[in-house]
A and B are shown apart, each in its own frame.
Chain A
């Protein structure tokens, strides 16, 4: 996971720009789920959830473990992964956030880092250090789109992630639960004063954010494999996506994730993945120095 292999090997046929774009969008769609889960928890709690990357890894390994039990295409694992990871999100909130909610933010930083380490070591014990692959979402073949041959998996990732992101948007914009989640994120004390059960909303947010991390794990763990330490790379990318998109901006996090993935795939195809990663971190530093409010600089108080 985390695109540690180069996106093209010597045996692959030449890759067109359009194919690269689709691969980049697929990777970006999965990153977007990670960043979305991260920013939802950030907004609801002001807590930076450093375990988010490890939760992606956990979702990937859960899919690996479920695959022999459910001999169906990977898409059939999605509901199970979403529900199981949502439950893990509740545990995370109850164990690592709620007891510390009145402590300084650094306490939650450390508790989520601790959860990440527990997940990594638990994964090492259960699965060993070698890379594992989850089943493809559909058949794992290719699709010919009028002469353009693209991996079915890429299209499936884009479709699944797109639906999940659209689902989040619908939930937040159109439902009373979504209004309560947004009110909790914008002003928890005032939300209480409007009768919103804020603690329950925080639990729902953790469940949703973790379920989305798990879904990203399932989507990524076929192509990019998954190892117990894969989460470190992903949390950094989620962090960069949210920084680029404007700290706290939900649409910004999605756009930021897509930009990162397109950049990563594009530079990897011309140069190499390590160069792409190096340039990405350099870009983060430049953005932090030049535009600390993010590229799309929405003021945090006005966020959706």
Chain B
């Protein structure tokens, strides 16, 4: 008798993606269980951003496939993947600069007015800084506030899997700490989180599992609190 293995929330098999002649993600396979918080670590150019974009569908695949809750999403457009439960916080935040904070959040909600208002309150409770600036145009916010807005915007879609790309980039240590504090509470509330980071320490403190990438491949996958130092060194410095 075999014990049924629960279907992972996200299953990636043999994923290959890149730009022009360059391959950025090379035949990568990875599974995320529901409720997991995973740090995706590696040096600049390891393929972390491309992997996140490929999961969302912003980069076309050259090979491999993706399954969300057992359902193939490989051929779906990014907007359909978001509707199925993916949320994305891009590198560089990319808030909608000319829109108000409130509009930036509301635009990402697929729900009706009442549910949207509830979700808005939840985001403002998570990021009280944003609540006072609801009517402010997003370009007027500080970098840290824009990062919080980008995270809040992704949450408005009620994601089952939240993908974050370098959320601490360009932030002061204090603000980076606040952003990762929010990531921790999002994960604690049950949302699966995959966060790509170059600064390993913060990401490891906020997650339970570490995946190290180098040259488009996974070189280590294990618990975040027992990451061998040589694996980390290899991922960042090339061994």
Contacts and interface: CB of A to CB of B under 8 A. Distances in A.
A179 B90 contact: no
Interface residues of A, number: 21
Q: Among B58, B79, B88, B90, which residue has the most Cβ atoms of chain A within 10 A?
A: B79
A123 B38 CA distance: 62
Q: Among B83, B106, B107, B139, which residue has the most Cβ atoms of chain A within 10 A?
A: B107
Contacts of A193: 56, 58, 78, 82, 88, 90
A291 interface: no
Nearest to A301: B97
Question: Could you tell me the dominant secondary structure of chain A's interface residues?
Answer: helix
B79 A197 contact: yes
Interface in A160-205: 176, 179-180, 182-183, 186-187, 189-198
A182 B58 contact: no
B119 to A, nearest CB: 13
Contact of A194 (B77, B82, B98): B82
Interface in B87-125: 88, 90, 94, 96-99, 103, 106-110, 116
Q: Among A180, A186, A187, A194, which residue has the most Cβ atoms of chain B within 10 A?
A: A194
B100 to A, nearest CB: 9
A193 B94 CA distance: 11
Contacts of A194: 82, 107-108, 153-154, 156-157
A301 B137 CA distance: 12
A193 B116 CA distance: 18
A157 B153 CA distance: 41
Q: Among A180, A187, A301, A303, which residue has the most Cβ atoms of chain B within 10 A?
A: A187
A195 B58 contact: no
Given A179-B107, A182-B103, A196 B98 contact: no
A129 to B, nearest CB: 44
A302 B137 CA distance: 9
B107 A176 contact: yes
A196 B79 CA distance: 6
Contact of B99 (A176, A179, A196, A198): A179
A288 interface: no
B97 A192 contact: no
A192 B88 CA distance: 10
A302 B79 CA distance: 24
A304 interface: yes
A261 to B, nearest CB: 27
Contact of A186 (B56, B98, B108): B98
Contacts of A180: 107
5 contacts: A176-B116, A179-B106, A179-B107, A192-B77, A301-B139
Interface of B: 56, 58, 77-79, 82-83, 88, 90, 94, 96-99, 103, 106-110, 116, 137, 139, 153-154, 156-157
